[in-house]
Amino acid sequence: MAKSKFNYFDAFERLAEYACKEAELLHQIYRDFSPETVAESLQRMHELENKADDDNHEIYKHLANEFVTPIEREDIITLAHHLDNIVDFIEDVVQRLYMFNVTYIPRAAIEMVVLIEKSTMALFAALKDFRNFKKSKTLEQLLISVNDYEEEADKTYLEAIRDLYVNHTNDPVYILAWNNLYARMEKCVDACENTATIMSTIIMKNN
């Protein structure tokens, strides 16, 4: 029996699914926040990140040994890298919750994390249809929705940072921690949008 070829589209889906699982966990951490459980949550997040790393390494391992690929090799590398960034950036948020010894989650932060979750879910749905990009009727709209969530996150970020410097000037440690955390959360949504842009570019190149 001939050895089956590695399926890059399946691998992309798995990476996006890990991002979804991380975003869901991040939302749960924020919604049910308890400072005492952040270390345990960080360990759970790290386990997801490690599994995503394993899948990413599989992509590079097979790419090194295959001459024929479904899309250009550079595009596979770029897309895998951007998907890996999302996974890393979401874990990074929880690392900073732990490092800054956060004891309270503001409402704007929960709004941001909801947008991270929505972005990863839309991206995952888009990647499930990515292998059929020449015939798909829904892929373009899914990619547009990722961009829409990024614009919404930009507005939430703007108001959240303003709130820090208007209403929390007596607490510089709080400002320092949440200035950093809001920036990290925005980075997660930006990474989703960047990945959607890469996908759109690949589609244009192959149509």
pLDDT digits (tens, 9 = 90+) for 111-124: 999 999 999 999 99
Percent of the chain residues past pLDDT 70, beyond the cut: 98
Quote the CA–CA distance of 84 and 49 in Å, as a whole number. Answer: 9
pTM (two decimals): 0.94
Q: Is residue 135 part of a domain?
A: yes
CATH of the domain at 92: 1.20.58.220
Query: Which residues have a Cβ under 8 Å from the Cβ of 9 and sit 6 or more positions away?
Result: 70, 127, 130, 131
Which residue range is the domain that position 130 belongs to? 8-206
- Count Cβ atoms within 10 A of the Cβ of residue 82 and give its class: 0-12 exposed, 13-18 middle, 19 or more buried: buried
Quote the CA–CA distance of 26 and 42 in Å, as a whole number. Answer: 10
The pLDDT assigned to 146 comes to 95
Say how many domains are in the chain: 1
- Count Cβ atoms within 10 A of the Cβ of residue 148 and give its class: 0-12 exposed, 13-18 middle, 19 or more buried: middle
Q: What are phi and psi of 66, to 5 degrees?
A: -115, 140
pLDDT digits (tens, 9 = 90+) for 74-117: 999 999 999 999 999 999 999 999 999 999 999 999 999 999 99
Residue 207 has pLDDT above 60, yes or no: yes
